[in-house]
């Protein structure tokens, strides 16, 4: 697996919830700004998240000729009532990073968590290679899809993957960050059309994510891990949120703004693009 930003530190394990990772790498935690046109090439002062992603650009090897010719479709879902194009939010910045990092290998797009049908129509359009208005079995089987989201967006991630599965469309990877379940959604159950899934959560505050995701069919879906993040002694700057959210619900937004979480997401996606037959695991102490 490609290098992460820095050394990895263990948090005290929670045996009830499996593998536990707390602080994955060190990063400066000051300020948050909208993404530049090209995160990888930007030289002006940047937010911690953009700086972390730019370091990933520098340290990861470029996509090789062996990379898939079909574009990988990456769908992100923002949390709460955030708009899909709100550039203050890491989900939107991350999609910009992916477009800069893989201009010919990835189509990355972000949606509000209530725009599942809009996202579905876009996926259909992108998969419909012959533009006949219908997806053939071959077009579905060749799909390369990754889904990520935070909070309600993480809940929508699982629901969207399930809807794709009902239509016979496979998913390479789901990345869920501090899942807050939406009514009527089983946000912790990963459907069998998903090959790999990972969950990052934090246990504090009024809103805190589900600590465990489970595969409907463990023979078909690999749970990379349920990673517990803690911020009691290492706070994250959340100036992209109003004071009320920062005061009363800070941990839920700290994990969203944590560059270390997005570095891990970038590493997993980088592995999918560079080695399309396998998915790297999130960093463990031995790595």
pLDDT at position 12 is 34
| pLDDT band for position 186 (cuts 50, 70, 90) | confident
Contacts of 124 (CB under 8 A, 6+ apart): 135
Other beta carbons within 10 Å of 280: 19
pLDDT at position 192 is 97
The residue with greater pLDDT, 179 or 186, is: 179
Tens-place pLDDT, residues 206-246: 667 778 999 999 999 999 999 998 887 777 766 766 665 65
Place of tokens 């004071």: 243
* Mean pLDDT value across the chain: 75
- Rounded to whole angstroms, the Cα distance separating 32 from 48 reads 7
- Rounded to whole angstroms, the Cα distance separating 202 from 219 reads 28
Q: Is 218 exposed, middle or buried (0-12, 13-18, 19+ CB in 10 A)?
A: exposed
Take residue 197 and report the two structure tokens written for it. Answer: 């899934």
Instruction: Name the residue among 266, 280, 38 with its Cα closest to residue 148.
Output: 266
Coil/strand/helix, residue 251: helix
Q: Tell me: pLDDT of 49 over 80.
A: no
Contact 162, 155 (CB under 8 A): no
This prediction has a pTM of 0.75
Beta strands in 3-162 (DSSP E): 72-77, 106-111, 145-150
| pLDDT band for position 202 (cuts 50, 70, 90) | confident
Give the H or E element holding residue 197.
strand 194-201
| Residue 196 to residues 9, 145, 191, 210, Cα–Cα distance (Å) | 24, 11, 10, 18
DSSP notation for 198-249: EEEE---SSS---S--EESSTTT-EEEEEEE---SSS----TTS-HHHHHHS
pLDDT at position 10 is 29
Q: How large is the average pLDDT for residues 98-127?
A: 94
Coil/strand/helix, residue 26: coil
């Amino acid at each position: 697996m490609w290098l992460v930003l820095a050394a990895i530190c263990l948090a005290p394990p929670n045996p009830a919830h499996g593998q536990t990772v707390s602080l994955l790498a060190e990063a400066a935690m000051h300020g948050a700004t909208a993404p530049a046109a090209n995160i990888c090439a930007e030289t002006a002062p940047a937010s911690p998240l953009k700086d972390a992603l730019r370091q990933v650009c520098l340290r990861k090897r470029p996509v090789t000729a062996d990379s898939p010719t079909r574009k990988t479709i990456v769908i992100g879902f923002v949390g709460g009532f955030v708009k899909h194009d709100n550039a203050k939010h890491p989900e939107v910045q991350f999609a910009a990073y992916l477009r800069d990092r893989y201009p010919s290998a990835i189509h990355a797009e972000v949606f509000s968590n209530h725009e599942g049908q809009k996202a579905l129509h876009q996926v259909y359009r992108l998969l419909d290679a012959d533009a006949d208005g219908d997806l053939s079995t071959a077009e579905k089987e060749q799909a390369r899809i990754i889904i990520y989201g935070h909070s309600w967006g993480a809940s929508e991630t699982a629901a969207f993957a399930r809807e794709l599965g009902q239509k016979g469309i496979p998913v390479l990877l789901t990345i869920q960050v501090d899942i807050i379940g939406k009514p009527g959604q089983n946000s912790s159950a990963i459907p069998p059309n998903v090959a790999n899934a990972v969950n990052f959560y934090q246990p504090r505050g009024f809103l805190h994510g589900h600590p465990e995701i489970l595969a409907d069919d463990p023979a078909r879906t690999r749970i990379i891990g349920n990673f517990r993040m803690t911020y009691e002694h290492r706070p994250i700057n959340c100036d992209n949120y109003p004071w009320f959210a920062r005061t009363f619900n800070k941990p839920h937004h700290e994990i969203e703004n944590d560059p270390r979480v997005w570095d891990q997401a970038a590493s997993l996606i980088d592995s999918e693009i560079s080695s399309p037959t396998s998915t790297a695991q999130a960093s463990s102490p031995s790595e």
